[in-house]
Amino acid sequence: MAVGNSLVEDLYNQSKCFSSPIVKNIPNFIKKFTIKELHKLLIRIKDDSLACHRDRIRLYVDNKRKKPFGEKAFLADLPDPNMDLNKWLEGYFDKKDFLLFINYSGSWSNELATLLADFSAPLLEKFSPFSLSLESHIIIGRYKTTPFGVHIDDPNDRVIHFNLSDNEKYLHLWDKEKYRELTGSFEYIENMNDIQEYKTTYTIKKNDAFVLPAAFYHVGESPKISIIFALALTKISKKDLILKIVDEMKDDLIKSISSDIDYAHFEDEEVLKGVLEEEFLTVNKSFNDHFSTSLKKYKAKVKSNRCFVEKPLIIKKEISIELNENTIFTKIKPFNIEFFVINNKIYLYARGHKFSCKEHPSIIKFIEYLKKEDTFLFKELLKIDEVLNHAFVDKLVRWLVSTSAFKLSSGI
Ligand SMILES: [Fe+2]
């Protein structure tokens, strides 16, 4: 069972944990995510040029989003990983307030994603992996109030704030009903001036883990630069789970629609109805197949990524390493690959990513070996089945390494 178990058990077993704020010590395994790891994560975001377009990293300076390309310029200016990031941030922003928010930070760091997997281990022994998701966000900054205003989190989220820095951060809280009484509604407000005398303030010190129940409006304050790792544990409702499967089916269903509906059909309701009835009949015929495939895909995706279904670790661009017969493959634990065969096609999932190819008994034998073994040499892979094409083996193992399901090291 993973370390940090007691905090997680408290979270899921004691309902009072969800009704009142709690400050605990950070479990030791979370401390493995050091400022050095954070620095490496930022460099990885810089290398992934799409990051800014996805809006997953947001920089606020004096409570405003810097436009245009504020985040890109910041990432481009980042110092070498050997430098002290904290000192550099102080110099870079000088006296200005700033806040850097990194959404789904586990997508950019294998260390962080692995740590989240450790965190989820005791939960997965008790709950279905389809009932949970984990999101990790990082909030770095110095600010009088967080730029998101006084707000409330999603009621299905359990958010834990881990303070990874030396400095204190404060969270000001208002009970939901009191908030409505004070502001006249449940809407968020930009600043807390009018309601501040009614706030309850919690101090999150170095190495503190603060559990924020979903029933409280809140806003953060950080007089000195703090680094907060916020972990949101979400209970997926049954309705959301169904929507996720429908979402998985959407692409396949769209493919079965003929798409030659004439724009003129929209003028005549009866004609359009006739055309759509025919389309629905076609879709309906293939519904069972699509449903079965989509359900299997969703399950394999979730299991291979240990319930972080939303944003898997970003795939590495190119694995340039030369493979020789003594190259060692090691599975990155606690993850494992998942696969299934349907309609003469093999679907393989690693860390939430998908690889598909035509069904072949040799490939299945090969994948079964990969699923069973934790470490092996490249030459052992080549011996599994004589008919297996070496170029295919090469392609598949490189893909597995690019997903971080396996790592490579050179043998003797
Ligand atoms: Fe929040």
How many Å lie between the centroid of ligand 1 and the Cα of residue 380?
A: 50
How many Å lie between the centroid of ligand 1 and the Cα of residue 153?
A: 5
| CATH number assigned to the domain comprising residue 88 | 2.60.120.10
User: Interior CA angle at 396 toward 385 and 348, to 5°?
Assistant: 95
- Are 211 and 245 within one domain? no
Q: Is 207 left (phi over 0), alpha (psi -120 to 50) or beta?
A: left
How many Å lie between the centroid of ligand 1 and the Cα of residue 155?
A: 11
| CATH number assigned to the domain comprising residue 397 | 3.90.930
Neighbours of 274 (CB within 10 A): 12
Cα–Cα dist 296/341, whole Å: 9
How many Å lie between the centroid of ligand 1 and the Cα of residue 390?
A: 51
Q: What's the predicted TM-score (pTM) here?
A: 0.83
* CA within 13 Å, CB half, 230: 22
Number of domains in the chain: 3
User: Interior CA angle at 73 toward 71 and 79, to 5°?
Assistant: 105
297 located within any domain: no
- Are 230 and 248 within one domain? no
Cα–Cα dist 305/114, whole Å: 10
How many Å lie between the centroid of ligand 1 and the Cα of residue 187?
A: 14
- Of 210, 235, 260, at which residue does a domain stop? 235
86 located within any domain: yes
How many Å lie between the centroid of ligand 1 and the Cα of residue 201?
A: 15
Residue located via tokens 């003028």? 267
- Are 363 and 375 within one domain? yes
Is 277 exposed, middle or buried, given 0-12, 13-18 or 19+ CB atoms closer than 10 A?
exposed
Q: What is the pLDDT along the chain (412 residues), one digit of tens a residue?
A: 344 455 665 665 555 445 667 777 777 778 888 888 899 999 988 887 666 666 788 999 998 887 656 888 899 999 998 899 999 999 999 989 999 999 888 888 888 888 888 888 878 888 888 888 888 899 999 999 998 889 998 877 888 899 999 999 999 999 988 999 989 888 888 888 889 899 999 999 998 989 888 789 999 999 999 999 998 888 888 888 889 888 888 877 777 776 667 777 778 888 888 887 888 887 777 788 888 899 999 999 999 998 876 677 887 776 677 788 889 999 999 899 999 999 899 999 999 999 999 999 999 999 999 999 999 998 888 888 888 888 888 889 999 999 999 998 886 5
- Are 283 and 343 within one domain? no
Where helices occur in 163-256 by DSSP H, the ranges are: 176-183, 238-255
DSSP 279: H
Neighbours of 166 (CB within 10 A): 14
In sequence order, what are the residues at sequence separation of 6 or more whose Cβ sits closer than 8 angstroms to the Cβ of residue 2?
8, 29, 118, 119, 121, 122
231 located within any domain: yes
How many Å lie between the centroid of ligand 1 and the Cα of residue 189?
A: 13
Q: Tell me which residue range forms the domain holding 216.
A: 7-235
How many Å lie between the centroid of ligand 1 and the Cα of residue 166?
A: 22
How many Å lie between the centroid of ligand 1 and the Cα of residue 158?
A: 10
How many Å lie between the centroid of ligand 1 and the Cα of residue 148?
A: 8
How many Å lie between the centroid of ligand 1 and the Cα of residue 142?
A: 17
How many Å lie between the centroid of ligand 1 and the Cα of residue 400?
A: 36
How many Å lie between the centroid of ligand 1 and the Cα of residue 7?
A: 20
Q: Which residues pair with 93 in a beta bridge?
A: none
- Are 134 and 267 within one domain? no
- Are 267 and 366 within one domain? no
Minimal CA–CA distance to 116: which of 81, 85, 162? Answer: 162
